[in-house]
Amino acid sequence: MSELSTTITLTGGAEIPRYGYGTFRIDDAEAAAAVTAALDTGYRLIDTAVGYQNEVGVGRAINGSGLKREELFLTSKVWDHGYDEVRRNLEESLERLGTDYLDLYLLHWPRPEVDRYVESWRALVDARSEGLIRSAGVSNFTVEHLTRVQAETGTVPEVNQVELHPYFSQPELRAYHDEHGVVTESWGPLGLRGEGLFEEAAVRAVAEAQGRTPAQVVLRWNLQRGNVVIPKSVTPARIRENWEVLDFALTDDELAAVDALDTGRRQGGDPADVN
């Protein structure tokens, strides 16, 4: 990977690959073939969730890949909140995935109206201490949610997976993460509404100068801004194209040009409203 490490060491000691494969909106029937194509391409971080309803297919691909389990970094997420509910969901995910442990387990959303995310977080901390998961994190948490978790438990998530792309780059949240040792993981790294980013003059100019596609420029921007990135595609050619971002680098001026696209507006759900 040009000028970047290939992994980041989490506060718990596990090493997470900087670049992975997301499986959002890939159903169980498609998941095995799609994840197999990703693994064949070189991806070793695979991201799924209970809510994606594709853990069986993901597990089939992983267990049929011929790769050693320790060569892979497997992430899943839990939607249900409550200590016992999280533990039950974890056991069910492990069974569906056909593995004894997860490398990373995330609370999928804070769900503030339910107001059990602190209790749920404690279940992840205990699962980590028992070896059922190697790393514990959250997804779609804001500074407010992270601050409360730390204040009430004395622990900090190792990862926060959030919507992050040039239109919504979350600089304040990333600064908080950096200060507290939380790794930023970017979902929706190419934006969520069509291919609008790819038509931006700034992105197209960088793509032309680098001899790359607009998508590759946006993915590379994510990496160079310090994020773990998990693009998703079910098309083998696009899976390979997305992978080919590890051998070039954007200049400081090119990074700044993409930074300038930030609107400060979400395209996906608001953590204050998703319950």
Q: Which is catalytic among the residues 19, 21, 43, 52?
A: 52
**Residue 172 Cα distances to 161, 162, 242, 274, angstroms:** 15, 13, 27, 21
Backbone angles phi, psi at 113, to 5 degrees: -70, -30
| Band (193; pLDDT cuts 50, 70, 90) | confident
- Please list the residues that pair with 74 across neighbouring strands: 46
Instruction: Specify if 268 maps to a domain.
Output: no
**CATH number of the CATH domain containing 164:** 3.20.20.100
- Determine the average pLDDT of the residues in 169-190: 97
Instruction: Specify if 1 maps to a domain.
Output: no
| Band (228; pLDDT cuts 50, 70, 90) | very high
Cα(169)–Cα(116) distance, rounded to whole angstroms?
28
pLDDT at position 3, please? 58
pLDDT at position 1, please? 52
* Cβ-based neighbour number of residue 13 at 10 Å: 9
Residue whose token pair is 């899976």:
239
43 is catalytic: no
Instruction: Specify if 131 maps to a domain.
Output: yes
How many domains does the chain contain in total? 1
| Band (192; pLDDT cuts 50, 70, 90) | confident
Instruction: Specify if 59 maps to a domain.
Output: yes
Residue whose token pair is 């997860």:
102
| Band (194; pLDDT cuts 50, 70, 90) | low
pLDDT at position 108, please? 98
Within its chain, how far is the Cα of 201 from the centroid? 27
Cβ contacts of 237 within 8 Å, gap of 6 or more? none
| Helices (H) then strands (E): counts for the chain | 10, 10
Average pLDDT of every residue of the chain: 96
* Cβ-based neighbour number of residue 137 at 10 Å: 27
| pLDDT reading at 22 higher than 90 | yes
- Determine the average pLDDT of the residues in 203-222: 97
- Please list the residues that pair with 77 across neighbouring strands: 106
pLDDT at position 70, please? 96
pLDDT at position 2, please? 52
Residue 152 in tokens: 């009430």
The DSSP symbol for 199 reads G
Instruction: Specify if 140 maps to a domain.
Output: yes
* pLDDT tens digit sequence for 36-47: 999 999 999 999
* Residue predicted with more confidence, 55 or 195: 55
DSSP H or E run through 179: helix 171-180
Instruction: Specify if 266 maps to a domain.
Output: no
- Determine the average pLDDT of the residues in 163-189: 97
- Determine the average pLDDT of the residues in 168-181: 97
- Determine the average pLDDT of the residues in 229-250: 95
Cα(140)–Cα(138) distance, rounded to whole angstroms?
7
- Determine the average pLDDT of the residues in 184-206: 92
User: Where in the sequence is the domain holding 135, given as residue range(s)?
Assistant: 7-259
* pLDDT tens digit sequence for 77-112: 999 999 999 999 999 999 999 999 999 999 999 999
| pLDDT reading at 253 higher than 70 | yes
Instruction: Specify if 269 maps to a domain.
Output: no
206-225 burial: b if 16+ Cβ within 10 Å, else e: bbeebebbbbbbbbbbbbbb
| Band (5; pLDDT cuts 50, 70, 90) | confident
Instruction: Specify if 12 maps to a domain.
Output: yes
